[in-house]
Amino acid sequence: MQSQLRSINLTELETLLKSWSFPTYRARQILNWLHQKHITEFGEMKNLPKKLLGKLSESSLVSVLKLRETPKSNDQSSQKYLFETQDGHFLESVLIVQGGRNTVCVSTQLGCKMKCSFCASGMGKFVRNLTAGEIIEQVSRVARTLSPLEVGNGRDRSLQAITNVVFMGMGEPLDNYDATLRAIKILMADWGFGLGGRRITVSTCGIIPKIEQFVKDVDGRVRLSISLHSSQQTVRNELVPINKRYNLDDLMSALEQLYRKLKREITFEYTLIQGMNNSPEAASGLARLANRIHAKVNIIPYNPVREADYQSPTPAQVKTFCALLEKKGVRVTVRQTAGRDINAACGQLRLDREPIRGTSGPKLICSIKFNLPPIP
């Protein structure tokens, strides 16, 4: 079976080249074509000997995703990338252009086992984990469309267009731990994308042992975002069912231990749902939790999903809730809805494409769960 070249790290590639009797310096050249110039075919690697290209193409694949659609929002601030995998499933990535930053929101799984009640990703069938190569390719393919590769024109063709990557698309990144970690290491490596950890955010619903392991494995350098959504056990049990296994008290104790080891602040994601978690008591509870670990709070006004029976808050309700938090000393941002017209925002594209709990219709299509990823 052919391996995915984008999943491979520098040491593994050097070992492979040595075993083929090619000089190891070729490894950095190959990785530069993949992660800086974002090529999609072996033929684009212009400075490699034909014999090496032949060996590589026999044993590996450069590209495993087919780009199917790229709808843009009317205001041009976000663009959705719908990809088809080799086994015929669909996933989405989103590009958000805002404040001089080009942020790519990537998916890590086809479906999600966590079944958060307000999230379209959790409503469909879980299919499988994405590979590190499939995660990385999402970033490369988006980058490629930002700065089209002009092969052979003699200019410096390094692409630095992607400034931030957020793991907030379909799937729970820490439930696909190895591939997520491998992808992050490739994003951060000097032979990879060369992105600093502060430009990478991983969002998790709170799998405590995996969070602890992750902070250790990335040496606290990557931004952590916790999908909190409620400060009350019973409400969180409904919104984020993993809370029944890793409850709020335990999560907060773990975060208290961890936040000093983190080199970045923690963010709480809080989807604000009318009548569910927007009361003054809910605001006080949230402020108490945030202040325990100096977390920033990202308020995400709920974006309706047809199959979920929740209500969006009004702008006035959002304002009131934020004011209550601020009064208690919490730093708050409100994520503006972007790309609603292309369903780039919040898990709705999938709902437009497939019957969620039925068996007919197209295969799974990813959804992006929130309005906009947090842009640090």
Catalytic residues: 92, 346
What's the Cα-to-Cα distance from 92 to each of 67, 79, 281, rounded to whole Å? 10, 10, 36
Decide: is 227 part of the binding site for ligand SF4 (CB under 6 A): yes
Minimum CB separation from ligand SF4 for residue 307, in Å? 13
Give residues with Cβ within 8 angstroms of 153, minimum separation 6. none
Annotated binding site for [4Fe-4S] cluster: 112, 116, 119
Transcribe 93-126 into DSSP letters: EEEEEETTEEEEE---EES-TT--TT-GGGTS--
Q: Which residue, 34 or 305, has its beta carbon nearer to ligand SF4?
A: 305
Q: Work out which of 136, 172, 181, 208 binds ligand SF4, going by CB under 6 A.
A: 172
Cβ 47 to ligand SF4, closest distance in Å?
41
221: contact with ligand SF4 by CB under 6 A: no
Task: Reduce the DSSP state of residue 45 to 3 states and report it.
Answer: coil
Of 171, 313, 373, 374, which lies in the binding site for ligand SF4, with binding defined by CB under 6 A? 171
Please identify, using beta-carbon distances, which residue of 173 and 192 lies nearer to ligand SF4. Answer: 173
Q: Confirm if 226 and 269 have CB atoms less than 8 A apart.
A: yes
The minimum distance between CB 211 and ligand SF4, in angstroms, equals 13
Nearer to ligand SF4, 7 or 176 (CB): 176
CA–CA distance, 290 with 295 (Å, rounded to integer): 5
Q: Which stretch binds ligand SF4 (CB under 6 A): 26-34, 132-140, 165-173, 336-344?
A: 165-173
Structure tokens at 360: 């007919």
Residue type, 106: V
Instruction: Name the H helices within the chain.
Output: 10-19, 25-35, 50-59, 132-146, 177-188, 208-217, 233-239, 248-258, 280-292, 315-327, 348-353
Question: Which residues within the stretch 6-65 sit at the binding site for ligand SF4 (CB under 6 A)?
Answer: none
CB of 240 to ligand SF4, least distance (A): 6
- Nearer to ligand SF4 by Cβ, of 26 and 369: the residue is 369
Is residue 42 within 8 Å of residue 151, measured between CB atoms? no
One of 104, 195, 205, 218 touching ligand SF4 (CB under 6 A): 205
Q: Show binding-site residues for S-adenosyl-L-methionine.
A: 171-172, 203, 227-229, 303
> Which residue lies nearer to ligand SF4 by CB, 39 or 240?
240
- Phi/psi at 272 (5° precision): -90, 120
Report the DSSP pairing between strands 101-105 and 60-61.
Answer: unpaired
277 scored as a contact of ligand SF4 (CB under 6 A):
no
Residues 17-50 as b or e (16 or more Cβ within 10 Å = b)? beeeebeeebbeebbbbbbbbbbbebeebeebee
Binds ligand SF4 (CB under 6 A): choice among 177, 369, 372, 374: 369
Looking at beta carbons only, is 79 or 117 nearer to ligand SF4? 117
| End-to-end alpha carbon distance in the chain | 40
Nearest-approach distance from CB 270 to ligand SF4, in angstroms: 12
For β-strands 332-334 and 128-129, DSSP reports them as: unpaired
Name the residue nearer to ligand SF4 (CB basis): 52 or 112.
112
Contacts with ligand SF4, 99-128, as mask; x by CB under 6 A: -------------x-xxx--x-xx------
Q: Residues touching ligand SF4: how many (CB under 6 A)?
A: 13
Q: How far is the CB of 196 from ligand SF4 (least distance, A)?
A: 25
Residue least distant from ligand SF4 (Cβ): 122
Burial of 369 (0-12, 13-18, 19+ CB in 10 A): buried
- Cα 202 from Cα 190, distance rounded (Å): 20
Is residue 202 a contact point for ligand SF4 (CB under 6 A)? no
Q: Which residues of the shown chain bind ligand SF4 in the complex (CB under 6 A)?
A: 112, 114-116, 119, 121-122, 170-172, 205, 227, 369
